[in-house]
Amino acid sequence: MILTHKENILKFSLLLPSFLSLFLFGSTVKAAAIANWHFDSNRNHLDFTTNKNVQPKVQLLANPTRLVINLPGVTLGYPQTSQRVGSVIKDIRIEQFNAETTRMVVTLAPGYTFDLAQVKLQEESANHWSVQLPQPVPLTATQPKYLEITPSISPRVSDNSTLFAGVVPMHLPMKVLEPQIKALMNRYSFLKTGMFFLDLDTGDYLDIGGDRVFPAASTIKLPILIAFFQDLDAGKVTLQENLTMRGDLVTNGSGVMQYERVGKKYTALETITKMITISDNTATNMIIDRLGGAARLNQRFRNWGLKDTVIRHLLADLRGTNTTSSQDMARVLALVVNNKLVSLQSREQVLDILRHTTIRTLLPAGLGKGAVIANKTGDIGFLIGDAGFVTMPNGKRYLAAIFVTRPYKDTRGRDFIRQVSQLVYNYLNQLNPVASVNSPNSATR
């Protein structure tokens, strides 16, 4: 969960064995040189930004074991604040260490320490840093009393760059490709579309109505899947726990669980797998119920920065009241791929499940041989959509999301998405820099 700071309001989310964070600071304070900071409790990941260049120093001290992050030249501007966290991570505090140094301290229980080699201090830009904390490990008798690490330096994002989802530097629009996409749209003028594609390696992007809100159909199952794995990482759910198929959760539309007897039990892993791979609506309702209901999920989506993604009704939502946008779908994928929402292990499980989506007639149909896509489709007759993470044989990676409203079940909507996918793929493949579509079908009114 990402927490932000505006002007003088500082909120800090603590490391907890659950997805939901607690606020360390909730009152208005004056932060002299710390512009903003947040802690992603799901990933043990701290981000902080100052209003001038700093060079943090990370130390591991003993008796008691504590990880110290010193910020030389930074004045805190308010009294020391601390918060008890738990039995292993005892507390986290921020204090003015001396007249010119602000210090962040993570204190561990006796008998525990951090493997300092696994603590990653990363310079994101001159005044933006991140610290990735590992899980605490048992203390050994040979543990040194003092250790220090130096930061790793990453290429800086220029000041005028925009970070998509806060993680991917956006570069330039795909100007060469855009006219060809719009020409295709003119051929299919009876369709209404919104799309967003983002090259994760260069930051180049294609945004045509990417913020346009559409019925989500079954693409809503993508963020629901991510939410489940967040709770898995937090220890709130397990893959092997049994879920009961209650009568009030059984629904029609896609899937096979609706044909089984009410009261049948499925493991959570079976349920989330059916929710994605065969887009089972009943399975989806069971997962929504297990995660606390639509309202809680909607709040979580908002915390991720999804502006348009809302669950208003359980599945099957054939009227299209649940909504999203191409940008929102790309945003949640960007966060997952960049390890911002779930652990590395959960990320790989999420992508593996998505790679087994059985419907291959939309974005996958436009990809070249050897390309791999982790995606989720949606279809409620008058609308189809698809969102995915594509890895090309040449190693290039990109995000793709597209929605189309069409005459009811008109297959030309599917053809349009396939051709858009092919245009983007060919453009990014570099083997043929001028995108082209060789479609056996022509679009007519």
pLDDT tens-place string over residues 72-125: 888 776 677 776 777 888 887 888 888 888 888 888 888 888 887 788 888 766
Q: Which residue has the higher pLDDT, 191 or 19?
A: 191
pLDDT at residue 336 tops 50? yes
What is the C-alpha to C-alpha distance for residues 46 and 40, in angstroms, rounded to an integer? 6
Is 323 in contact with 309 (CB distance < 8 Å)?
Answer: yes
**Peptide bond before 64: cis, by omega within 30 degrees of 0?**
yes
Within 8 A by CB and 6+ apart from 53, the residues are 126, 127
Q: Running DSSP on this structure, what letter comes out for residue 239?
A: S
Judged by average pLDDT, the poorest of 96-110, 186-200, 360-374 is 96-110
CA atoms in the 13 A half-sphere facing the CB of 248 = 3
Q: What distance lies between CA 201 and its chain's CA centroid?
A: 17
- For residue 62, what pLDDT is reported? 77
pLDDT attached to residue 144: 54
pTM for the full predicted model: 0.65
pLDDT in tens, 203-239: 999 999 999 999 999 999 999 999 999 999 999 999 9
Predicted pLDDT at 284: 98
pLDDT at site 264 = 97
What does the pLDDT read at residue 430? 75
* 3-class SS of residue 38: strand
Average pLDDT over residues 155-161: 42
Contact 136, 124 (CB under 8 A): no
Least confident range of 133-137, 263-267, 329-333, 353-357: 133-137
- Between CA 124 and CA 128 the distance in angstroms is 5
If pLDDT is split at 50, 70 and 90, which confidence band does 149 have?
low
pLDDT at 22 over 60: no
- Residue 366 CA to residue 424 CA, distance in Å, equals 9
Least-confidence region, from 17-21, 94-98, 143-147, 237-241 = 17-21
Determine the pLDDT at residue 445. 31
Beta strands 162-164 and 372-379: pairing type? unpaired
> Looking at residues 141-150, what average pLDDT do you find?
52
> What's the mean pLDDT when you consider all of the chain?
83
Instruction: Check pLDDT > 50 for residue 311.
Output: yes
